Every structure is written in structure tokens, then in C-alpha cells.
């Protein structure tokens, strides 16, 4: 029987194991090795005093369907919940106030004139500069550029500082001066390439919709842009774990190094044992993978080490609703860097999703760290809670003691999609193809969100299953 080892039990490793098991017609001997005493990696939900707290991701995008499909495949349909679409306003902290992001913003680009013109977030000069976007010539060069470069060029500095940097670079905890447009937001490059600019693309899209209005379709009508699970995303992890054959998972054990021995891979574990496999899937952060494979291919290890990671932290605070004077009437707020605050954003978790706080309480989740403030995220849990409370006092006026406080630190937890990322990944993929039986999966390569990780896992599982000569067609 072919032996397959998967190193790393985050969503990438788990989904690989699950799909391998589901789609291989011949039984495979799969072992998943996970360093921690629990599965899930960055997916970490806790249920405490009636609150559902997410330490890492709190939801997944449904436009990329693989996470939703996996939940459905696992029978979690009844527990799927969408974000609260009636209260999805995002606020921006600017000049000592929270300003709603104008209605109709497509991330950085306004799609509706009136709400944009009425907004007090952007100055009149800033608005005029953004409006000029329609007149600007198209960039001819095809090479990658940074988010900051793109936004400054098309929409101006104010749009970058107040909208694009906190909102878009924030998703990746990235420095906008380094974040790759090609890898992170290719749709905006496409709008410029195809239509000459963002505003022109939006206008054409609107005209096309007026000519032939298309509804969302029965499938999409009930699907919100982001979804999660009633008991937290850990439910997805637990559901996968429950479907894996017993004996598949080795918890609390980690790989120390991997060598190639007689056409197989020998994985040395920290308990002194060794595991031999015909196929090995590294679903570990890319810098861990780099250390593990340095003996097999030092050049590949070097390339993997070139993918930077930054540290972030989240602090969830639960309060009695009566202690929060301001209505939490949106999904939360982001904080531009030049506001000189110590947090980058705050999600109003119990407004964003139902079932996140007990009756009479509210749950807020504060984000700390990222590319421009890593040291803040590396403080201990108590210091992080103090920091979050200080910031919420200053921004939202909350002085009460929280009824729940929980901090999660993600040291070097966020891969950075720097300018040139795609070229680096193409080189990595090419080198990997030279190593029979060696596979990479995870957030550092082809997309950093949960659906991207699952897509990667499906690709690897399909490849291995087909190699064994007996695979079911995968309906993912």
C-alpha cells in the first residue's frame, strides 16, 4: 500500500488528508503529523461563557467556493451562517472620529457617486484626485507593482492612506509598499488592462447590468459574501478529523527533518522515531518547510525562506451591551497607520455574525501587529489585553471591565505576498516538480485564505490519488 505522510495539521494538511481518503479508490496509508496537541493550526475557536471566540480566521469567502463546498460535503449545512448583511458598514478611524466607508465602495473604488461625494472621510481634494482616475492613461508595463504604487498612481495618496492601506493591505497584515497587486488583487489590474481604468470599468459594468439585469440566482441568493459556522470554524476542523480513519493523525509530534532514502522519504520525528513515505505533503508554514527539506534541496529551501512572514495577534473582548455607549451598527472599523494608534482594526464580531455573544452582551475583536508593527503583536497575552482595552477606551469610549478577554498570538503567522510573489512561486513549483512524491500546500503559495488553502489541498490530493492509478472524479 502506498504510504503518504502529511506534515502539518492546519486546514491545508487536514483537507489534503480528507480529500485523499475520499477520492482514492484504493486504500492509502495516510499519516498526518501535527506539532500541536490539537488540530486546526490557525483555525482556533473557543466557546466560553456563551461567547464564541475566534483566535484566527472568523469566516471564509464564498466567492471562492471550496470552503463552502467542503462544509456541505461534511454535512455542516445546518450550521452554516452568513454575515449580517443588513449591518455591514465598515468604519474608518480618521481625525479622531469613526467615518463610515461610503456605500458602494468596491474596496478602494467608489461605484456610487452620491454616497462617495457626501462622505466626510475623504477631503474634497482627495475626492477630486480620485475622480481624475477616469481620465488617467492606462499603464502599459505588465510587471508586478505594489498596492501602494497602484493606488497612488490611479487614485492618489489620500485614497491609499485612508482606504486601500488599512482595508486591503490589512487583509494580509501587509505593508502596502510591498504587497503584490498581481498576487493579492489581480482583479483591479484586470480592470485597468481591459477597460483603461477602474472607474471606466465600473461604469461599463453598470451599463451592461442595466442592459441585461441578472439576479443572483437561487444558489447565490441565500449566500452571503462571508460565511462561518455557528460553533466557530473549529467545527470544520473537528468534522474533518471525525471523518479521517483512526490512526491517521499523530498529534503532539513534529518532524525534525526529512531525507531521501531509496526513492522514499524518511521523516525523522521528535520522539526519535522515523516514518517512511512514498509521497510527502508539506502543509507547514513555508519557513518550517524550508528547514525540513534543506537536506533534500538547499536551493528550494532558500527560495521558500524568501517568503516573508509577519506576526499578528487578535484580542477578543466581551462586554455587557449596556457598557458600550456607541451602537455597534456595522462590521467594525479599520485604523490607518498615520492615525498613530496601536491597533490596526476591530471587528464587531457579535454584529458581524449571530451566535457570537450571549444575550445582553457584545463581542469585539481587536487586531494588533502586522508588517508595520510586529513587535506589538509579540507581547504577552496580558499586555495585549491591556493594549486592546486602552485603544477601545480611546476610540469607542469603553471603560468597563470586559466579562471575557482572550488574546491569541500568531508569531510569524501571516505569509507576505510581496511584489514578485507569483514569479517566486512559479520557480518554487518548477523545482518541486523535479522531486517525485514531494508536494507543498498552504497559505504561503497560491492564496492566503481558507478557500485558497483548500484549493491547494484538493490539487495535491487529486494529483496523488491519480498517481495511484485509481481515483474518483472529484466534485469539489
Q: Which residues bind ligand FAD (CB under 6 A)?
A: 7-13, 33-36, 41-43, 56-60, 254-255, 283-285, 288, 312, 314, 410, 413-414, 442-443, 448-450, 453
CA 362 – CA 95 distance, rounded (Å)? 26
Q: Cα dist. 2→245, 259, 393 in Å?
A: 16, 18, 58
CA 182 – CA 159 distance, rounded (Å)? 19
CA 312 – CA 203 distance, rounded (Å)? 38
Q: Which of 129, 182, 133, 181 is nearest to 157 (CA)?
A: 129
Nearest-approach distance from CB 379 to ligand FAD, in angstroms: 15
Q: What is the DSSP letter of 418?
A: B
Task: Give 36 or 136: the residue with its C-beta nearer to ligand FAD.
Answer: 36
Nearest-approach distance from CB 153 to ligand FAD, in angstroms: 28
Nearest-approach distance from CB 83 to ligand FAD, in angstroms: 11
Task: Give 116 or 408: the residue with its C-beta nearer to ligand FAD.
Answer: 408
Q: Which residue's entry shows cell 480620485?
A: 130
Nearest-approach distance from CB 36 to ligand FAD, in angstroms: 4
Q: Determine how β-strand 438-440 pairs with β-strand 109-110.
A: unpaired
Nearest-approach distance from CB 54 to ligand FAD, in angstroms: 8
Q: Which three-class secondary structure state does DSSP give residue 68? A: helix
Strand ranges inside 44-160, DSSP E: 45-48, 51-54, 60-61, 80-82, 90-94, 97-100, 105-106, 109-110
Q: Which residues pair with 4 in a beta bridge?
A: 30, 279
Nearest-approach distance from CB 289 to ligand FAD, in angstroms: 9
- Phi, psi (5° rounding) for residue 53? -105, 135
Q: Cα dist. 16→223, 247, 455 in Å?
A: 26, 16, 9
How many C-beta neighbours within 10 Å does residue 261 have? 10
Task: Give 8 or 166: the residue with its C-beta nearer to ligand FAD.
Answer: 8
Task: Give 183 or 468: the residue with its C-beta nearer to ligand FAD.
Answer: 183
Task: Give 22 or 145: the residue with its C-beta nearer to ligand FAD.
Answer: 22
- Phi, psi (5° rounding) for residue 274? -130, 145
Task: Give 135 or 271: the residue with its C-beta nearer to ligand FAD.
Answer: 271
Q: Which three-class secondary structure state does DSSP give residue 249? A: strand
Q: Which of 337, 338, 333 is nearest to 91 (CA)?
A: 333
Task: Give 36 or 423: the residue with its C-beta nearer to ligand FAD.
Answer: 36
Task: Give 36 or 400: the residue with its C-beta nearer to ligand FAD.
Answer: 36
431 exposure class (CB count in 10 Å sphere: 0-12, 13-18, 19+): middle
Q: How far apart are the first and last CA of the chain?
A: 26
Task: Give 159 or 237: the residue with its C-beta nearer to ligand FAD.
Answer: 237
Nearest-approach distance from CB 256 to ligand FAD, in angstroms: 7
CA 314 – CA 377 distance, rounded (Å)? 8
Nearest-approach distance from CB 187 to ligand FAD, in angstroms: 17
Q: Which of 143, 147, 108, 106 is nearest to 129 (CA)?
A: 108
Nearest-approach distance from CB 238 to ligand FAD, in angstroms: 14
- Phi, psi (5° rounding) for residue 370? 95, 180
Task: Give 105 or 377: the residue with its C-beta nearer to ligand FAD.
Answer: 377
Nearest-approach distance from CB 233 to ligand FAD, in angstroms: 8
CA 374 – CA 317 distance, rounded (Å)? 21
Q: Which residue's entry shows cell 499586555?
A: 383
Task: Give 134 or 256: the residue with its C-beta nearer to ligand FAD.
Answer: 256
Quick check: 227 and 68 in contact, CB under 8 A? yes
Nearest-approach distance from CB 240 to ligand FAD, in angstroms: 11
Quick check: 356 and 187 in contact, CB under 8 A? no
Nearest-approach distance from CB 417 to ligand FAD, in angstroms: 12
Task: Give 45 or 314: the residue with its C-beta nearer to ligand FAD.
Answer: 314
Amino acid at each position: 500500500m502506498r504510504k503518504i505522510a502529511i506534515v502539518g495539521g492546519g486546514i491545508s494538511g487536514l483537507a489534503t488528508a480528507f480529500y485523499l481518503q475520499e477520492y482514492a479508490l484504493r486504500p492509502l496509508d495516510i499519516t498526518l503529523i501535527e506539532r500541536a496537541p490539537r488540530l486546526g493550526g490557525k483555525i482556533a475557536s473557543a466557546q466560553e461563557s456563551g461567547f464564541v471566540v475566534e483566535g484566527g480566521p472568523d469566516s471564509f469567502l464564498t466567492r471562492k467556493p471550496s470552503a463552502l463546498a467542503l462544509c456541505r460535503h461534511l454535512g455542516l449545512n445546518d450550521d452554516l451562517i452568513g454575515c449580517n448583511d443588513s449591518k455591514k458598514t465598515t468604519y474608518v478611524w480618521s481625525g479622531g472620529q469613526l467615518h463610515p466607508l461610503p456605500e458602494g465602495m468596491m474596496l478602494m473604488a467608489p461605484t456610487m457617486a452620491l454616497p462617495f461625494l457626501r462622505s466626510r472621510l475623504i477631503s474634497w481634494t482627495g475626492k477630486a484626485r480620485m475622480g481624475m482616475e477616469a481620465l488617467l492613461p492606462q499603464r502599459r508595463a505588465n510587471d508586478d507593482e505594489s498596492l501602494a504604487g497602484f493606488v497612488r498612481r490611479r487614485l492618489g495618496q489620500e485614497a491609499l492612506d485612508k482606504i486601500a492601506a488599512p482595508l486591503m493591505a490589512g487583509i494580509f497584515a501587509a505593508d502596502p509598499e510591498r504587497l503584490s497587486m498581481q498576487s493579492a488583487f489581480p482583479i483591479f489590474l484586470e480592470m485597468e488592462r481591459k477597460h483603461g481604468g477602474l472607474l471606466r470599468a465600473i461604469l461599463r459594468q453598470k451599463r451592461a447590468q442595466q442592459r441585461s439585469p441578472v439576479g443572483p440566482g437561487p444558489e447565490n441568493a441565500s449566500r452571503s459574501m462571508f460565511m462561518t459556522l455557528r460553533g466557530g470554524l473549529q467545527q470544520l476542523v473537528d468534522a474533518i478529523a471525525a471523518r479521517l480513519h483512526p490512526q491517521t493523525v499523530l498529534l503532539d509530534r513534529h518532524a525534525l527533518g526529512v531525507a531521501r532514502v531509496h526513492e522514499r522519504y524518511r521523516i525523522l520525528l521528535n520522539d526519535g522515531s522515523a516514518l517512511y513515505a512514498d509521497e510527502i505533503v508539506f502543509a507547514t508554514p513555508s519557513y518550517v518547510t524550508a528547514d525540513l527539506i534543506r537536506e533534500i534541496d538547499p536551493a528550494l529551501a532558500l527560495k521558500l525562506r524568501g517568503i516573508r512572514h509577519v506576526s499578528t495577534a487578535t484580542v477578543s473582548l466581551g462586554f455587557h451591551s449596556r457598557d458600550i455607549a456607541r451602537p455597534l451598527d456595522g462590521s467594525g472599523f479599520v485604523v490607518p497607520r498615520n492615525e498613530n494608534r496601536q491597533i490596526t482594526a476591530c471587528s464587531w464580531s457579535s454584529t458581524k455574525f449571530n451566535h457570537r455573544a450571549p444575550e445582553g452582551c457584545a463581542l469585539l475583536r481587536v487586531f494588533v501587529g502586522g508588517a508595520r508593527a510586529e513587535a506589538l503583536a509579540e507581547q504577552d497575552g496580558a499586555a495585549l489585553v491591556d493594549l486592546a482595552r486602552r485603544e477601545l477606551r480611546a476610540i469607542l469610549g469603553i471603560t468597563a471591565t470586559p466579562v471575557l478577554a482572550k488574546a491569541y498570538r500568531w508569531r510569524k503567522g501571516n505569509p507576505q505576498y510581496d511584489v514578485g510573489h507569483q514569479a517566486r512561486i512559479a520557480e518554487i513549483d518548477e523545482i518541486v516538480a523535479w522531486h517525485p512524491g514531494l508536494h507543498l500546500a498552504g497559505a504561503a503559495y497560491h492564496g492566503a485564505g481558507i478557500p485558497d488553502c483548500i484549493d491547494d489541498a484538493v490539487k495535491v490530493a487529486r494529483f496523488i490519488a491519480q498517481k495511484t492509478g485509481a481515483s474518483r472524479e472529484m466534485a469539489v
